[in-house]
């Protein structure tokens, strides 16, 4: 065998022995351990990223759930607010009707309850229409009031409804007197002294120069003239002025004429 053939054969034999040695179970495990050690940082990084991704997805799901819950709470809150408003409205109406019933039981007048069914913007402060008419025994010039005081009187009367002219109207003159004095005069609306926006001032006219009425002093119907019975509260003195021949006062009505809903028509005396 020549040297040229022997040397490659020896090298191949040594390589084979080395390969056999390296592929032994023990060495294979050592190689695998080394490989695992090399890639473990990448495996750990991948695991952390995956956990963060799962956490992010769960966070998004939680936000969606919170948004849905928030929407449900908003709807429930609106429903509750609407219910509360309805209950407050019913309570206010119940209290108003209770006061009216109590007044009807206490008063000496025979009263017919009526509801305001219409009012026009052009005559908002001076007229209302009620749901009582001729069929209910209503005639013209019947006093209309509520538990707070005088409202006005009936004018145009139809079978099932009537127009009521309010005390703020110029045509509704009410004979009245000031409490605690002998002063008498006529209460009527006066647009020449209006407070703006079509709101009439209610004047107490033809008082004596010595009247000296005070703010807050009550004014009642006097019964003179036969339309309005005596003793119905008309309002309170707002201010007082002395003129050349007589004196004059303005009155704050006892009744809020802008928010009328229910009234009574005086159809007689209960006694």
What's the pLDDT tens digit per position in 28-72?
A: 566 555 555 565 555 555 555 556 656 656 665 577 777 777 778
Residue whose C-alpha is closest to residue 187's, from 147, 235, 140 = 235
Q: What is the pLDDT of residue 16?
A: 52
For the CA atoms of 74, 76, 81, 84, what is the dihedral angle to 10 degrees? -170
Q: Has residue 22 got a pLDDT over 60?
A: no
Q: What is the pLDDT of residue 139?
A: 95
Under CATH, to which class is 110-269 assigned? mainly beta
For the CA atoms of 212, 215, 220, 225, what is the dihedral angle to 10 degrees? 50
Beta strands, E only, the chain: 109-118, 127-130, 143-146, 149-157, 162-166, 174-178, 184-190, 201-207, 218-221, 233-242, 247-253, 262-269
Q: Has residue 155 got a pLDDT over 80?
A: yes
In the chain, what is the greatest distance between 2 CA atoms, to the nearest angstrom?
Answer: 163
What's the pLDDT tens digit per position in 110-128?
A: 889 999 999 998 888 899 9
Exposed/middle/buried for residue 237 (C-beta within 10 Å: 0-12, 13-18, 19+): buried
- Mean pLDDT score, 233-258: 91
């Amino acid at each position: 065998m020549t040297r040229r053939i022997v040397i490659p054969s020896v090298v191949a034999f040594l390589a084979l022995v080395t390969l056999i040695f390296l592929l032994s179970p023990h060495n294979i495990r050592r190689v695998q351990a080394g490989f695992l050690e090399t890639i473990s940082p990448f495996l750990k990084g991948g695991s952390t990223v995956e956990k963060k991704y799962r956490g992010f997805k769960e966070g998004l799901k939680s936000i969606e759930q919170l948004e849905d819950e928030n929407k449900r709470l908003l709807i429930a809150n609106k429903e509750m607010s609407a219910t509360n408003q309805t209950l407050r409205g019913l309570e206010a109406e119940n209290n108003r009707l209770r006061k009216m019933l109590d007044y009807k039981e206490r008063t000496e007048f025979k009263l017919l309850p009526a509801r305001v069914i219409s009012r026009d913007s052009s005559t908002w402060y001076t007229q209302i229409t009620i749901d009582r008419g001729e069929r209910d025994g209503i005639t013209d010039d019947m006093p209309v009031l509520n538990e707070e005081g005088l409202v006005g009187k009936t004018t145009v009367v139809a079978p099932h409804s009537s127009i009521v002219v309010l005390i703020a109207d110029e045509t509704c003159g009410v004979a009245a007197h000031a409490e605690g004095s002998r002063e008498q005069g006529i209460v009527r609306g006066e647009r020449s002294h209006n407070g703006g926006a079509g709101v009439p001032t209610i004047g107490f006219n033809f008082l004596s120069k010595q009247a000296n009425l005070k703010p807050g002093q009550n004014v009642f119907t006097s019964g003179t003239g036969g339309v309005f019975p005596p003793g119905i509260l008309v309002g309170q003195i707002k201010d007082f002025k002395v003129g050349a021949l007589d004196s004059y006062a303005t009155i704050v009505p006892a009744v809020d004429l802008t928010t009328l809903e229910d009234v009574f028509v005086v159809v007689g005396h209960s006694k």
